Amino acid sequence: MRDDLIDEVTALVREVAQTVVLPRWRHLSDAEIQQKSPGDLVTVADQEAEEALTAGLTALLPGSQVVGEEAVAADPGVLGRVGDSGAVWIVDPVDGTNNFAAGKTPFAVMVALVRDGEPAASWILDVVADRMTVAEAGSGAFLDGIRVKTRTDDPGAAGLTGSLSRNYFPDDLRERIEGRVGALGTVTGGRHCAGYEYPAVVSDEQQFATFWRILPWDHVPGSLIVREAGGTVLHLDGSPYRPTDSDRGLLVAANEDIWRTAHGALFA
């Protein structure tokens, strides 16, 4: 990867967030909010931000492709490009759209660069906090330019704080999990924003996060950040997560020991 690409994408993400996304926050009309499916919103900010990011990213890396959340909503066939050879950008123009549309936080802009099916770099900007988390494969993870590492100890199940995004779990599995959460210290329902959950594991605000639906724009950026910071991202069956995966759920943890502890408490 050329030396200046990380900084150029960082600047682009910040620019789109400041000029397209943030001005719309708490200023959306009803006509500017639509439902793609029941409970799944899209706003004019999502659409305009994805257009701006697509133009900017392909200009920075000529010949690259973009897989954006809204492009896939318009044409599901676009999703298949994630595993293509060459450079593919994965874009979530507004992660946490339901929060954004309701005038709440958190929400984020997320981008990942995948080369030949493998994550190469990622960017997550918490828009309101103006907090940028960046990772490059093999080079570590950085929060506002400062290298970050996940915690290395395991405080045990009762000492863990984590999130469980319950909405998409199958009913039978959700019921089983609900009977087990008491073994863990604190389990929240999450903040409805993967762009918050992944950096929260890196910064030790929480030690794990659990998801069922794993669309690439939600999880490729954060998974690289967590792994580059020393954390663990595996499917619930213990297999590695890859950008083309779309099922089996994910358990994200600050380290392998915490992953095993949280997994044993919730899913054993």
Per-residue pLDDT reduced to its tens digit, 10-55: 999 999 999 999 999 999 999 999 998 888 899 999 999 999 999 9
Query: Closest Cα to residue 128, out of 171, 98, 94, 152?
Result: 94
The residue with tokens 């802009």 is: 109
Measure the CA–CA gap between 193 and 96, rounded to whole angstroms.
Answer: 4
Q: Is 237 annotated as a binding residue?
A: no
Say whether both 20 and 124 belong to one domain: yes
In this structure, what token pair is assigned to residue 244? 């083309």
Say whether both 73 and 191 belong to one domain: no
Say whether both 15 and 119 belong to one domain: yes
**Among 121, 148, 175, where does a domain finish?**
148
What mean pLDDT, rounded, does the chain reach? 96
Is residue 109 a contact partner of residue 125, using CB atoms and an 8 Å limit? yes
The whole-number average pLDDT for the span 235-251 is 93
Instruction: Residue 48: give its domain's CATH number.
Output: 3.30.540.10
Say whether both 112 and 210 belong to one domain: no
Measure the CA–CA gap between 199 and 193, rounded to whole angstroms.
Answer: 11
Query: Closest Cα to residue 141, out of 53, 231, 61, 216?
Result: 231
Q: According to the model, what pLDDT value does residue 159 have? A: 98
Q: 37 has which bridge partners?
A: 40
Per-residue pLDDT reduced to its tens digit, 134-179: 999 999 999 999 999 999 999 999 999 999 988 788 899 989 998 9
Report how many domains make up the chain. Answer: 2
Measure the CA–CA gap between 109 and 206, rounded to whole angstroms.
Answer: 21
Q: According to the model, what pLDDT value does residue 247 have? A: 77
Could you list the residue range(s) of the whole structural domain that residue 134 is in? 5-148
Per-residue pLDDT reduced to its tens digit, 248-258: 799 999 999 99
Q: Is 8 annotated as a binding residue?
A: no
Q: What angle do CA 94, 95, 96 make, to 5 degrees?
A: 110
Say whether both 26 and 134 belong to one domain: yes
Q: Is 69 annotated as a binding residue?
A: yes
